[in-house]
Amino acid sequence: MKIRSPAKINLFLHVTGKRPDGYHNLFSLMCPVRLYDDIYLDVDTEKTEIKCSGTPVPENETNLAYRAAELYLKTLGKKEKFILKIHKRIPVGAGLGGGSSNAASVLLALNRHYNRPVSQSELMSMGLSLGADVPFFLFQKPALASGIGQNLEDYRGLSPYHILLINPGVTVSTAAVYQKLNLRLTNCKKNFTYDLLKKSGFDPGRHLCNDLESVTTAEHPEIVTAKKKLVEHGAKGALMSGSGPTVFGLFSDPRKAEKAKQALGGNKGWQLYLSEMIVKNTNYFANNALPMV
C-alpha cells in the first residue's frame, strides 16, 4: 500500500479552557493542505520494522504511525508483522500535524486492507487514543473542531486558497506551549463565532487568529517576521498554525504565492513550501495509491 499523508493548518484556534485531565479544550477551524508525506505499508511480512527518510523521525515503537499499525492489528486480534516506510516532507514539530496524519493514514489504509471491519466511530476512538489531531485526519475534510479536537463538524465555507508555508527551522513542543499559555490573555473569541462562520463564511481579514501564537513568538520572534513578510508580498492574511512555529500565508493568485516564495527564499534557515488548501470532501483512497485529491 502507498499512502499520501497530508499536513493541516489551523485557520483559527481559540483555547477555551483547561480540563481536569490536563488537556485543553479548544475551538478551531482546521483544513488539510497539499503537502504530503509518503507512506509505504506491507502487511504479513517476515518481521516488523520501520524505516524513515527525509526529515528525521523515530524509527522505533515510539513513532506514531508504527503505534497506529500495532494498535489496529491488536484491536482485530491479528498477529501479522508489517514493514512501514515513511518519506517525510512535512516538517516535524511544526504545527502541521505530520505525525498525527501519518497515524490516521495508516489506520485508514489498514481498515481498507481488511475490508473495513472497524467503524468510523471506532476508528475515531482509536485515533484519539494516539493523539488529539488524529481524529481530524480520519475525518478527511475541513472541520470545526472542539473539545480537545475530537468533536468535528464538516465545514464548507472555505475558498481554495493557495498557501505559502514558512517553517523558520526550529522545533516547538506542543505540550510546552500549552503549559506556558495564560488563559486570561487569550483573545481569539471575539474574532470568531460559530454562527458567524456558518452565515458568512471564512474571511482571512477577520478570522485569522491563534491563541497559542503569543506564547511561541515570545521565544521565536522570527514567526512575527515571517507573517509580516508574507503580507508584504501579497498574502491576504498570515497566521501561525497550531503550536507553531510554521506560518502560512493565504493567496488568491498562485502566481503571487510563487513570487513570494522566490522573494523570501533567501532567508537563512527558512524552509518554504507552496501548497493549497483542500476544501472539498475528499477520500484518501484512489486505486492502490491512497492520495487526497
Q: What is the pLDDT of residue 285?
A: 44
Same domain, 117 and 257: no
Bin 42: left if φ > 0, else alpha if -120 < ψ < 50, else beta.
beta
Q: What is the pLDDT of residue 283?
A: 55
Same domain, 14 and 136: yes
pLDDT tens track for 192-222: 666 777 777 888 988 899 999 999 999 999 9
Same domain, 236 and 270: yes
Residue 145 has pLDDT above 60, yes or no: yes
Domain count across the chain: 2
Same domain, 172 and 261: yes
Residues of the chain with pLDDT > 90, as a percent, come to 75
Structural domain range at position 34: 2-155+285-290
Q: What is the pLDDT of residue 223?
A: 95
CA nearest neighbour of 144 among 215, 193, 203: 193
**What is the pairing mode between strands 151-154 and 162-167?**
unpaired
pLDDT tens track for 55-79: 888 899 999 999 999 999 999 999 9
Is 206 within 8 Å of 237 (Cβ atoms)?
A: no
Same domain, 170 and 138: no
pTM above 0.85, yes or no: yes
Same domain, 136 and 185: no
Q: What is the pLDDT of residue 34?
A: 95
Look over the chain and give the mean of its residue pLDDT values, rounded to a whole number: 90
Q: Cell 463565532 identifies what position?
A: 193
Q: Between 146 and 190, whose confidence is greater?
A: 146
Q: Which CATH number does the domain housing residue 34 bear?
A: 3.30.230.10
Q: Cell 489506520 identifies what position?
A: 107
Question: Would you tell me how many other CB atoms lie within 10 Å of the CB of residue 63?
Answer: 19
Q: What is the pLDDT of residue 290?
A: 46
Overall average pLDDT of the 157-161 stretch? 91
Q: What is the pLDDT of residue 206?
A: 84
Q: What is the pLDDT of residue 23?
A: 86
Overall average pLDDT of the 120-140 stretch? 96
Most confident of 10-19, 147-156, 233-242: 233-242
Q: Which CATH number does the domain housing residue 174 bear?
A: 3.30.70.890
Residue 112 has pLDDT above 50, yes or no: yes
Same domain, 122 and 235: no
Q: Give yes or no: 38 in active site.
A: no
Q: Give yes or no: 8 in active site.
A: yes
Residue 284 has pLDDT above 90, yes or no: no
Task: Give the pLDDT band of residue 13 (cuts 50, 70, 90).
Answer: very high
Same domain, 24 and 86: yes
Annotated active-site residue in 8, 141, 229, 236: 8
- Asked whether the bond before 245 is cis by omega within 30 degrees of 0, the reply is yes
Would you list the DSSP string of 222-257? HHHHHHHHHHHTT-SEEEE-TTSS-EEEEESSHHHH
Same domain, 85 and 190: no
pLDDT tens track for 239-278: 999 999 999 999 999 999 999 999 999 888 999 999 999 9
| E-strand stretches of the chain | 2-18, 24-45, 49-54, 81-88, 143-147, 151-154, 162-167, 209-210, 237-240, 247-251, 271-276, 289-290
Burial class (CB in 10 A: 0-12, 13-18, 19+), 107: buried
Same domain, 138 and 196: no
Q: How far is CA 285 from the centre of its chain?
A: 19
Same domain, 45 and 142: yes
Q: What is the pLDDT of residue 291?
A: 43
Annotated active-site residue in 37, 38, 88, 133: 133
Same domain, 151 and 166: no
Cα separation, 224 vs 213, whole angstroms: 9
